[in-house]
Amino acid sequence: AQSVTQPDIHITVSEGASLELRCNYSYGATPYLFWYVQSPGQGLQLLLKYFSGDTLVQGIKGFEAEFKRSQSSFNLRKPSVHWSDAAEYFCAVGDASGGSYIPTFGRGTSLIVHP
C-alpha cells in the first residue's frame, strides 16, 4: 500500500529565506505525486504535480519540486519565501499500478514565516 511521510510538523523560516519541505513516500511502480497548500480555514489548492517526464516540476506561486526515485522523495522548494506563504502544506501520492487512484495524503507541514 502507498504511504506518505512528511517528517516535519512545523518549519519556521525568515521572509526572503529559501525553503525546502520534505516528503517521502512508499509506492508501487508508478507514483503520481502532488503538493497542496492550505491557508487557515480554507480548502486545499494544488501547487504542482508529477506524473512522468522531467523530474523537476514547476508549480504556481514560485514553488518547485524534485522527484528523486532513488530516495523516494518529492521535496518542495522555494528560493525566497514571502509572508503570504505561511500555510499548511500537504504532499500526496497515488499509485495507478496498484489500483489506488485516490491519492494518499501526508499529515502536513505547517510553515511559519518570520518577518
Partner 1 sequence: DGGITQSPKYLFRKEGQNVTLSCEQNLNHDAMYWYRQDPGQGLRLIYYSQIVNDFQKGDIAEGYSVSREKKESFPLTVTSAQKNPTAFYLCASSIPAGGVHEQYFGPGTRLTVT
Would you say 15 or 110 has its CB closer to partner 1? 110
58: which 3 cell numbers?
514547476
C-beta pairs of 84-89 under 8 Å, 24+ apart in sequence: 85/19, 85/61, 85/111, 85/113, 86/111, 86/112, 86/113, 87/37, 87/38, 87/39, 87/40, 87/111, 88/37, 88/38, 88/39, 88/40, 89/6, 89/21, 89/35, 89/36, 89/37, 89/38, 89/47
**Which of 15, 22, 75, 105 contacts partner 1 by CB under 8 A?**
105
**Interface positions, 14-53, toward partner 1 (CB under 8 A):** 30, 32, 34, 36, 41-46, 49, 51-52
Cβ 4 to partner 1, closest distance in Å?
Answer: 9
The least CB distance from residue 36 to partner 1, in Å, is 8
Query: According to the binding rule CB under 8 A, does residue 94 interact with partner 1?
Result: yes
Nearer to partner 1, 53 or 115 (CB): 53
CA 2 to chain centre: 16
CB-wise, 38 or 73, nearer to partner 1?
38
Which residues bind to partner 1, rule: CB under 8 A? 9, 30, 32, 34, 36, 41-46, 49, 51-52, 90, 94-97, 100-103, 105-108
